[in-house]
């Protein structure tokens, strides 16, 4: 190992960082829980807030440049500094005790089961995000302080589920969209957050779009293989962008079937694909991570008008999968 490190110091540094990540995460979580940083979305002006999980600023800019998405046509894409390096941390920091009054007005449709894990108090960010023991001091509100909360990760389409999502707690963009459309027509929300899990891995969009039934190993957990050169960055990035396009297609449908004067599109955090920060390549995302590709997130403003063109034709039932299965599907167990 020492000999290999001498021959390739860059890989040696990457390996060392990988092995020390639990300790770094523990320290970062302890600091973050006491000294919040970043732009809280509850300080912003919006009627409908759309979260694209792990969506990088440059990824949304690329999609705007080469795609044809109505949701990105209204103007330039700005940036914000996320309050978290992971969904867990973002949730804990967004819904802090000091934001109780604003949180009381929020309805939340969560495609990522981790949001509910934090708000229910079953998990704190450092407990599930590979962190070593950490003396944290989070001040997160319970789920009951939100006006309404719907977990799309605990719902399942009974009627014609999207291919690849039949028995998985990784909800399709279509399911989340239909839940939001249905909610918008049945409830008069002051503010609604719709949290898509796309483009977060596993990249189930490959099953939706390709003629196959299973994902490759790297499509399930890409960053271990990317870190050690077993799959190229371009390969993983292309699949990530394909997953993002599925999310944007769904958002376009939502914006034609929801009434909101001011819609904001953003991310809870980004994703590192090996870009260097402080001299060391960074990968994935985690609690307390300060890598610019993880913390700089997009902020795009548009509007929505309900034309009534889509009638959600879905039957929803609660999934019988355990919470452990749900967390495992997202790579957290």
CATH of residue 208's domain is 3.40.720
Answer whether 0.85 is exceeded by the pTM: yes
Q: What percent of the chain has pLDDT over 70?
A: 78
Range of the domain at 31: 2-329
Question: 36 is written with which tokens?
Answer: 């919040």
pLDDT score at 204: 87
The phi and psi torsions of 303 (rounded to 5 degrees) equal: -140, 170
Q: Give the pLDDT of residue 326.
A: 57
Instruction: Tell me the average pLDDT across 73-99.
Output: 96
Convert the pLDDT of each residue in 37-65 to its tens digit.
999 999 999 999 999 999 999 999 999 99
Q: Which of 16-30, 73-87, 166-180, 191-205 has the lowest mean pLDDT?
A: 16-30
Q: Please work out, in degrees rounded to the nearest 5, the angle formed at the alpha carbon of residue 62 by the alpha carbons of 168 and 332.
A: 30
Q: Which of 50, 62, 87 has its CA nearest to residue 264?
A: 50
The length of the chain is 333
Q: Which residue, chain included where needed, has tokens 């034309």?
A: 307
pLDDT given for residue 205 in this prediction? 84
The average confidence (pLDDT) of the chain is 86
User: Which pLDDT does position 239 carry in this prediction?
Assistant: 96
Q: pLDDT-derived band of residue 2, with 50, 70 and 90 as boundaries?
A: very low
Residue 111 has pLDDT above 80, yes or no: yes
pLDDT at 5: 45
**Mean pLDDT of all residues in 95-122:** 94
Q: Does the structure show a pLDDT above 60 at 173?
A: yes
State both tokens at 228.
């050690």
Which candidate, 252, 268, 250, 241, places its Cα nearest to that of 302? 252
Which comes out higher in pLDDT, residue 318 or 171? Answer: 171
Residue 4 pLDDT greater than 50, yes or no = no
Residue 157 confidence (pLDDT) = 63
Mean pLDDT of 105-111: 97
* HEC per residue, the chain: CHHHHHHCHHHHHHHHHHHHHHHHHHHHHHHHHHCCCCCCHHHCCCCEEEEECCCCHHHHHHHHHHCCCHHHCCCCCEEEECCCCCHHHHHHHHCEHHHHHHHCCEEEEECCHHHHHHHCCCCCHHHHCCCCCCCCCCCECCHHHCCEEEEHHHEEECCCCCCCCCCCCCCCHHHHHHHHHHHHHHCCCCEEEEEECCCCCCCCHHHHHCCCCCCCHHHHCHHHHHHCCCCCHHHHHHHHHHHHHHHHHHHHHHHCCCCEEEEEEECCCCCEEEEEECCEEEEECCCCCCCHHHHEEEEEEEEECCCCCCCCCCCEEECCCCHHHHHHHCCCC
Q: Calculate mean pLDDT across residues 121-148.
A: 79
Confidence of residue 214 (pLDDT cuts 50, 70, 90): confident
Scored b (16 or more CB within 10 A) or e, 22-53 reads bebbbebbbebbeebebbbbbeeebbbbbbbb
CB 143 within 8 A of CB 154: no
Domains identified in the chain, total number:
1
Lookup: tokens for 308: 């009534």
Q: Is the pLDDT of residue 207 over 90?
A: no
**pLDDT, mean of residues 222-228:** 93
- Beta strands 296-304 and 260-266 are antiparallel
What is the residue whose two structure tokens read 């949304």? 60
Q: Check residue 28 and give its pLDDT.
A: 80
Q: What is the pLDDT of residues 263-295, one digit of tens each?
A: 999 999 999 999 999 988 999 999 889 999 999
Mean pLDDT across the stretch 112-132? 77
- Tell me the range of 112-121, 160-169, 176-185 where mean pLDDT is highest: 176-185
pLDDT band at 319 (very low <50, low <70, confident <90, very high): low
Q: What's CA 35's distance to the chain center, in Å?
A: 23
């Amino acid at each position: 190992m020492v000999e290999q490190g001498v021959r390739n110091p860059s890989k040696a540094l990457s390996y060392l960082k990988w092995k020390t990540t639990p300790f770094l995460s523990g320290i970062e979580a302890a600091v973050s829980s006491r000294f919040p940083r970043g732009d809280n979305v509850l300080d912003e002006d919006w009627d409908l807030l759309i979260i694209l999980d792990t969506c990088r600023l440059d990824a949304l800019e690329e999609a705007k440049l080469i795609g044809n998405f109505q949701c990105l046509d209204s103007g330039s894409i700005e940036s914000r500094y996320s309050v978290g390096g992971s969904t867990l941390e973002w949730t804990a920091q967004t819904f802090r005790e000091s934001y109780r009054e604003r949180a009381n007005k929020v309805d939340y449709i969560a495609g990522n089961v981790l949001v509910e894990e934090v708000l229910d108090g079953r998990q704190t960010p450092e407990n599930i995000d590979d962190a070593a023991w950490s003396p944290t001091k989070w001040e997160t509100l319970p789920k009951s302080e939100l006006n309404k909360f719907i977990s799309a990760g605990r719902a399942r389409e009974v009627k014609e589920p999207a291919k690849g999502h039949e028995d998985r707690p990784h909800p399709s963009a279509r399911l989340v969209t239909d839940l939001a459309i249905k909610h918008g027509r049945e409830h008069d929300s002051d503010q609604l957050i719709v949290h898509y899990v796309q483009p977060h891995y596993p990249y189930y969009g490959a099953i939706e779009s390709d003629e196959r039934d299973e994902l490759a190993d790297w499509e399930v957990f890409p960053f271990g293989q990317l870190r050690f050169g077993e799959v190229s960055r371009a390969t993983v990035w292309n699949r990530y962008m394909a997953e993002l396009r599925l999310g944007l297609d769904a958002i376009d449908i939502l914006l034609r079937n929801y009434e909101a004067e001011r819609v904001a599109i953003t991310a809870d955090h980004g994703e590192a694909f090996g870009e260097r920060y402080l001299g060391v390549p960074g990968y994935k995302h985690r609690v307390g991570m300060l890598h610019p590709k993880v913390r700089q997130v997009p902020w795009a403003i548009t509007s929505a008008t309900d034309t009534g063109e889509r009638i959600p034709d879905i039957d929803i039932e609660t999934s019988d999968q355990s919470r452990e299965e749900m967390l495992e599907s997202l790579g957290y167990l």
